[in-house]
Structure 1
Amino acid sequence: MIRYFSFKNFKSYRSETIFDFKAAAIPEFKESLLSSIESEKDGDILPVSVLYGPNGGGKTNLLQALACLISIVVRPVAELEKNRESLVLQHYVSCQPYLLDDESQNEPTEFQIYFRIKTNEYRYYIAVKNGTVVSESLYWRAIGGHKTGTVFEREKSEITLGSTINKVSVNRLVNPKMPYLSFLAINYNIPVISEVVTWFESCIIQSYAVPEVDRQIMMADNVELKKKIIRALNDLDIDIMDYRYDTAEKELYTRRILEGKEYELPFSSESDGTKKLLAALPILLIALQDGRLVIIDELDAKLHPKLLRYIIRLFKNPEVNRRGAQLMFSSHDLTTMKNSVFRRDEIWFSALDRNHESKIYSLYDIRDENDRHVSSSAAYDKQYMEGRYGADPYLENLLGEEWL
């Protein structure tokens, strides 16, 4: 599971930006936090994080920064069909620096991520400039431990191996455009490398800002998973009793029973909301089943708030989310910005500052003039629309400051 992600000089983000999944010491929804015997010493992890903010504020770019890092690692491995894990809806995101000043255009884009696998935590860092890897490193430590071990370090063409893989005879000459992590995964069967790359491969990336995505359907043939999909649809008052894919027509058909008679409806004739659920539910249930990270831009698009709450609660329900799956998404739906749905540290905002740089902060980070946190009993959506959180420039953008 992901613990911490930071990046610098990517699209609308110039300065270092940190997105933290570690749970704050607050009482709300404590039962939903991701913890285990191994991780209790090192804090709990959030199962859900949501990003709000105006159009153009940087929501999509933040999600794309994480997607970019994942694709940098996974793409070379997948192109040579050396991946260990089945890829689910991953797509390539290009690495573009901040373009609104001369210095940033000539500096590398940097990414750093901390994530946990079983009893270990890994820290991976990579800096890329014009497609060339400038610097790269991978470290590990036991969760709750203090000693950090080096897997490898790279500065341009110089590569230093840690004791974890130093005993293995590996090549230190690598194409400057390829991550050394990917190179090792392609050419060697080193347990620590396989474990790390498999985690990157397991991540799911989706964007519903693109209309065509609603038509990308991945329905399960697995009997048990198929039952879960249909049960979830029925829980949401969508009375589908089965589905099938016609390979000749290349069309998905849903089945219903009305007054004892069975009917089939082509996917193209379903409502937009049902299409969205049919597209989203299988990948969300796969994530919950396998303990994967899911990154979705505009998850709320075409979804009734009731359906969005249902999806959020799946990830926050410890009886359903038993393997540490995580959901990170952007949204414009303020009806779910409530203390009955989210913890304060699960709600994040992004907006442009006066220098046209995107900035992010969590609801828990906000303090009033008396240095007090936003109350857990506050009406988050109402206060957001009143502009109390600093990330609601809708009216200001539409009318200008002088109108206010």
Structure 2
Amino acid sequence: MLINFTVSNFKSIKDEILFNMAPAKRLQTMKEHVLVANTKKKAEGMPVAAIYGANGSGKTNFIEALAFMKDRINNDDVVAAIPFRLADDDQEKQPSTFSVLFSFEKVVYAYGFSIEGRIVRQEWLSAYYTAKETMLFERYWEGEGTQIVFGNRLVSDTKGGKAFLGFIFQGIQKEQLFLREAVKRDVSLLEPVEQWFVSHVFVIRPTSRAMALEVTLQNKPKALQKMNEQLHEMGMNLEKLETKEKKFNSDQYANQLDEGDAERFRNALEGLQEGEIIELSEKSFGRPQYIKKKNDEFYLISFEVCHERQDGKQVNFDISTASSGFMRMLDLLPALDVAQQEDTLIVVDEIERSLHTLLSQYFISCFIGIVTESQNGSQLVFSTHDTNLLDSDFLRSDEIWFMEKDSSSSSRLCNLVEFKQSTGLNYEKGYLEGRFGAIPIFHGNGLRLK
């Protein structure tokens, strides 16, 4: 469960932004929205957070900051952090800093790092195995590189102790995170931190597609049936969704490619094992195509949308005929299954993209229902322009955030609970009237809101 996330000097974010998922102490409404972690250190969180703001305010950059942190832990490819560039030369030379406080497997962890370009200047990790903080390691910049201090708990828990940990540190490059390299070397005490980022944090962008969803649902008919039930509940205009497989002519496909691509494609097929899949670059309505090896033959796995004709017969259509809203929901619905895992964080940029406002509300309501009933610590964070969701009967005020640019063009984030609110305030009306900021500012004879 995410408790808080901080970021500074990254893209449009200059000064430190604190995104706090812990509930406001003074709020007494919708207490069922308070999640309590099963940890020695008291930790609470909210199941959902909505981020509003004008176009270009920095909502996507904030989400990308969390995605950047996940990617640096998850991947060997080292990507440079992009600093805030609208201040001065000195600001551009400052490191970008990212940190999280989260609970996972009954322990609260505090992890973070500072990066200048690709180079790690600081990195730290502590844990709360009890109510008291335990330092596991602190990496800091000194001279021309970084040094590191190991906590007693990490040393005593690691086979080979301080000598082995020091050996790992001496072998890493300036661009590498100690956390990632230590986990590769089976330092088990650090594994839960990497595991949370890799397997329990998911970022869904406006153009994201649920990976290999066609193949997953083909192998799990009950999951496909459940998805069809959900699509019917939402009033989607279809009889059902089906997965289909048909033999794939690999030679015919390869002949359509240029020489280099054809060779890479054939090599990929040759290395394919029974039951494995590969993704084709060719897409249907933005969806990847998947090839599966079965009984030494290749099959194309795809979706078909089924409708019932007036005479009662079933007619199947290629998935490319479906609406963009249907496709968006198809890629969001798997998150409801993922939400049933403990301590899972789903982050969605532009949750309402191509969706009717009632569908957005349906999805969010389903997520909240799953998490508040199970109290499993899973959460949904999303950016949106859908003001219909600004409803005090739907979201608590501490679940609503506003992003806007200040006079220096730096993004800043504030929570609705920080504003003085009168009893019975209409959140949507107040937001559109500019009471909370984070709305477009028009110049000239443009739109005027009344």
TM-score, normalised to structure 1, is: 0.86
Q: Could you say which residue in structure 2 is the equivalent of 1:182? A: 180
Counterpart-to-counterpart distance in 2, 1:306 and 1:266? 26
Change (3 A) 1:339 1:316: same
**Does 2:141 align with 1:141?**
no
- Partner residue of 1:385 out of 415, 432, 437: 432
Over aligned residues, Cα RMSD in angstroms?
2.6
Change (3 A) 1:11 1:364: same
Counterpart-to-counterpart distance in 2, 1:381 and 1:134? 43
Counterpart-to-counterpart distance in 2, 1:403 and 1:218? 42
Cα deviations by residue, 1:173-219 (Å, 9 ceiling, x for unpaired): 1211100000011122x3321111100002111210x4xx3586624
Change (3 A) 1:252 1:192: same
**Does 2:51 align with 1:51?**
yes
Contact 1:288 1:320 in 2 (8 A): no
Q: Could you say which residue in structure 2 is the equivalent of 1:332? A: 385
- Partner residue of 2:188 out of 191, 204, 212: 191
Counterpart mapping for 1:294-373 below 5 A: 294-317=346-369, 318=371, 322-367=375-420
SS in 2 for 1:356: coil
What is the CA-CA distance between 1:159 and the residue it aligns to? Answer: 1.6
TM-score, normalised to structure 2, is: 0.77
Contact 2:79 2:118 in 1 (8 A): no
Counterpart-to-counterpart distance in 2, 1:65 and 1:382? 30
Contact 1:314 1:320 in 2 (8 A): no
Sequence identity (%): 26
Cα deviations by residue, 1:32-81 (Å, 9 ceiling, x for unpaired): 32225547x725211111110001111111111111111111112xx7xx
**Does 2:22 align with 1:19?**
no
> Which amino acid letter does the alignment assign opposite residue 134 of structure 1?
R
Contact 1:352 1:359 in 2 (8 A): yes
What is the CA-CA distance between 1:29 and the residue it aligns to? Answer: 2.0
Change (3 A) 1:36 1:6: closer
SS in 2 for 1:23: coil
Alignment gaps of 5+ in structure 2: 246-290, 292-298
What is the CA-CA distance between 1:302 and the residue it aligns to? Answer: 0.3
Counterpart-to-counterpart distance in 1, 2:423 and 2:241? 42
SS in 2 for 1:329: strand
Change (3 A) 1:179 1:31: same
> Which amino acid letter does the alignment assign opposite residue 85 of structure 2?
L
- Partner residue of 2:91 out of 86, 104, 109: 104
Bigger CA drift: 173-182 or 153-162? 153-162
> Which amino acid letter does the alignment assign opposite residue 179 of structure 2?
L
Cα deviations by residue, 1:127-153 (Å, 9 ceiling, x for unpaired): 00120110101000136x1x2111111
Counterpart mapping for 1:232-247 below 5 A: 232-238=230-236, 239-246=238-245, 247=291
Contact 1:125 1:138 in 2 (8 A): yes
- Partner residue of 2:140 out of 155, 167, 171: 155
Contact 1:314 1:321 in 2 (8 A): no
Counterpart-to-counterpart distance in 2, 1:14 and 1:36? 32
Cα deviations by residue, 1:311-360 (Å, 9 ceiling, x for unpaired): 11122114665522211111011111111221101110001111111111
